[in-house]
Amino acid sequence: MSIVTLSEFIMERQADFPYASGDLSRLLADIGIASKIINHKVNKAGLQDILGAVGTTNIQGETQMKLDVFADNALINAIKWGGQVCGIGSEENDRYFAFDSEVHRKSKYVILFDPLDGSSNIDVNVSIGTIFSIFRRKSSIGDLANVNDFLQSGAEQVAAGYVIYGSSTMLVYTTGHGVNGFTLEPSIGEFCLSHENMQIPADGKIFSVNEGNLYACSSGVREYIDWCKQTDKKSGRPYSGRYIGSLVADFHRNLIKGGIYLYPGTKSSPQGKLRLMYEANPLAFIVEQAGGSATDGQQRIMDIKPKDLHQRTPLIIGSKNMVGKVLELIAAENI
């Protein structure tokens, strides 16, 4: 059996972009490297306290970093060294960084990421992830990156992906030519193609939502969850409720099995919790490339014009027909 590694696959697929210079390929490869570094650390998460890191400093005298700060630094370092982006936006940092060197000023891309998604699950050994989104810059080559390079709508993404640190570690990405998944083979330290051309089933039997928030949601969303629980042999209801609390993990399962994830707005947080630029946009690009849908309840996620780097959005994402059903019930709310 022949093994296709992530780097081999990326190089092969470069042909999908007739005028590609290889920069995007190198950027994706750098993300693969950063995610291996993060994976290594994530796997030792529970050991940190046992292995002498009880104080606040490590052997080099550096402060032991929380995993999400560690992941943020690992990504920034790998991507900065690669020199393929002129700027970075991260969920962990208030402002974007514009890299001021000749190489970086000449780069074509910017990247945004959620370095560690589901971080409340770190301490309890539950799957977590990394999510990234890549745009072509708007400003001129040679200039310093500016805010308009980052505030682009999801439809303009050139690539997006996630890494899931689960029972195995996987990297899933799209460049707008389908979705492919790679599993980390620890014995050789390589991501190997394991899920070629991923497609989300048009219908599924799983709904993922934090039901604790349900009374504060709109009636359309509440009705949908009720509908999922009603018995209907023909459509296989009641559906199963599955909520991990790590968006990447909930999304990944639903992508493979078919299902829907909802983080709607509530009375106190009308825009919900999730971030448009770091979470919703990249997963929306992936789900659409896999044949599914992503909406905020009113419009397609990837059509939202961002105003702020850290803006939040309600998110309803997954199997096409399931998302369609929620939209139907939301639309009926005001009639």
Considering beta carbons, is residue 6 or 309 the nearer one to ligand AHG? 309
Residue span binding ligand AHG (CB under 6 A) among the ranges 58-66, 169-177, 239-247, 264-272: 239-247
CA atoms within 13 A on the CB side of 81: 10
CB atoms within 10 A of CB 26: 17
Residue 28 to residue 12: CA distance in whole angstroms = 13
Tell whether residue 210 is a contact of ligand AHG (CB under 6 A): yes
Within 243-302, the residues that bind ligand AHG by CB under 6 A are 245-247, 273
Q: Measured from the CB of residue 52, what is the shortest distance to ligand AHG in angstroms?
A: 27
User: Which among 87-95, 147-155, 169-177, 283-291 is the span making contact with Mn ion, rule CB under 5 A?
Assistant: 87-95
Q: Quote helix, strand, coil % in the chain, to nearest 5.
A: 40, 25, 40
- The region of 1-9, 116-124, 134-142, 280-288 touching ligand AHG under the rule CB under 6 A is 116-124
Least spacing, CB of residue 9 vs ligand AHG, in Å: 27
CA distances from 171 to 75, 163, 216 (A): 14, 4, 35
Separation between Cα atoms, residue 219 and residue 216, nearest integer Å: 9
Name the residue with tokens 């689960």: 166
Q: Are 292 and 255 in contact (CB under 8 A)?
A: yes
Q: How many residues form the binding site for ligand AHG (CB under 6 A)?
A: 10
C-alpha of 4 from chain center: 23
**What's the closest the beta carbon of residue 273 comes to ligand AHG, in angstroms?**
6
314 touches, from Mn ion, ligand AHG, none (C-beta below 5 to 8 Å by class): none
Segment 119 to 178, residues that bind ligand AHG, using CB under 6 A: 119
Cβ proximity to ligand AHG: between 173 and 261 the closer is 261
What is the distance between the alpha carbons of residues 58 and 80, in angstroms, rounded to a whole number?
24
Under DSSP, the state recorded for 108 is: -
Phi/psi region, residue 292 (left: phi>0; alpha: psi -120 to 50; beta: rest), is: beta
Rounded CA gap, 298 and 334, in Å? 13
Nearest-approach distance from CB 231 to ligand AHG, in angstroms = 27
Q: Which residue is nearest to Mn ion (CB)?
A: 117
Distances (CA, A) of 229 to 236, 239, 318, 324: 10, 6, 18, 17
CB 259 within 8 A of CB 322: yes
* Dist. CA 253–CA 237, nearest whole Å: 19
Contact letters for ligand AHG, residues 62-101 (x by CB under 6 A): -----------------------------x----------
Measured from the CB atom, the residue of 121 and 157 that comes closer to ligand AHG is: 121
Choose among ligand AHG, Mn ion, none what residue 266 binds, the Cβ cut-off being 5 to 8 Å by kind: none
- Residue 85: name the closest of 147, 15, 135, 11 by CA: 135
Residue 203 CB, nearest approach to Mn ion (Å): 27
Site pattern 18..57 for ligand AHG (x: CB under 6 A) = ----------------------------------------
Element (H, E) at 322: helix 320-332
Least gap, CB of 122 to ligand AHG (angstroms): 9
Binding residues among 96-115 for Mn ion as defined by CB under 5 A: 114
Binding-site partner at residue 246 among Mn ion, ligand AHG, none, CB < 5 to 8 Å by type: ligand AHG
User: By the criterion CB under 6 A, which residues form the site for ligand AHG?
Assistant: 91, 114, 117-119, 210, 245-247, 273
